[in-house]
Amino acid sequence: MLELSEILNASILIVDDQEANVMLLEQMLRNEGYTHIASTMDPCAVCSLHSTHRYDLILLDLQMPEMDGFEVMERLKEIESDSYLPVLVITAQPGHKLRALKAGAKDFVSKPFDLVEVQTRIHNMLEVRLLYRKLDNYNKALETAVQERTAELRESEARFKSFTELSSDWYWEQDATGKFTTVSGPVFEMLGIEQVAEPGAAGALPEGRWNAAERARLDAIIATRQPFLEFIYSRTNTDGTMQYLQVSGEPKFDSASRFIGYRGIGMDVTERIRLDRKDITVPA
């Protein structure tokens, strides 16, 4: 909601070629408490004045020499092309009212003036105008905040990705079908997966070399869309030696909470496992 002071502090331009009408409207507005009132009897000056001051309301007479109110509104539209045209027309011709509204005016008052009607229409139009401006400013501020937050998230994700690449042998992302969409490091070589022609795609895991029980546990975690941390599974190499891989991953969801894949890191921990086992002493 608006405070009364906000409405009374609004900027108003009176445009009429009759000095008596200008003086009457100015006096009426000042008596109501409005403080920012300007006027001109030259319709050709309206656009330049509005470009400079961006009035909250323009009281515009339609019947003027050189340039009538309809021509003024057409030129004002060039200034307010994507915004609100803050024009309240003044006319003594009943037939001009509908035409004025179609031309972009937001309201009208008739001559001779009914001062109570003029005051009410001015107050109501200013209230709408200022609320419109507040909403527009809020939307712009929100858009800026979203852009800034998006940039922060992208920077944070880039830092996270860089960190994970430094702290692991590989970084990976998969879509909901399990297809690799982002790969950093020798993922396919370490997993023994045959890469196919399509970028990011890979063949199936070779059968018979992976520890079936470990793989089944990992597949069960993934099937339930759960995160996993430092999960170790193993395989038997063609020379009979054992290889141990450690992976951590988390599921990804979109804004509608739909599952869209996994991302995570991994490393070869074979040497660490072998050293740990050498440290185990068997009692005599």
Give the pLDDT confidence of 231-242 residue by residue, as tens digits. Answer: 998 988 888 888
Residue 158 belongs to a domain: no
- Residue 116, in any domain of the structure: yes
Tens digits of per-residue pLDDT, 138-163? Answer: 888 888 888 888 888 777 776 666 65
**Residue 11 and residue 125 share a domain:** yes
Q: State the Cα–Cα distance between residues 190 and 188, nearest whole angstrom.
A: 6
Predicted local confidence at residue 202, as pLDDT: 45
Note if the pTM is more than 0.85: no
What is the model's pLDDT at position 203? 44
Instruction: Please report which helix (H) or strand (E) contains residue 190, including its range.
Output: helix 187-191
Q: Are residues 110 and 16 in the same domain?
A: yes
Give CA separation, 36 vs 43, 100, 165, in Å.
20, 25, 62
pLDDT given at position 251: 93
pLDDT for res 148: 86
> Domain count of the chain?
2
| Residue 173 near residue 265 (C-beta atoms within 8 A) | no
**Domain of 254?**
168-278
For residue 235, tell me if it sits in a domain: yes
* pLDDT < 70: residue spans in the chain: 81-83, 158-167, 191-208, 279-284
Query: What does the alpha-carbon distance between residue 18 and residue 15 come to, in Å, rounded to a whole number?
Result: 9
The CATH number linked to 243 is 3.30.450.20
For residue 157, tell me if it sits in a domain: no
Strands across the sheet with 87-91, in order?
Answer: 36-40, 11-15, 57-61, 87-91, 107-110
Given 125, 141, 157, the domain boundary residue is: 141
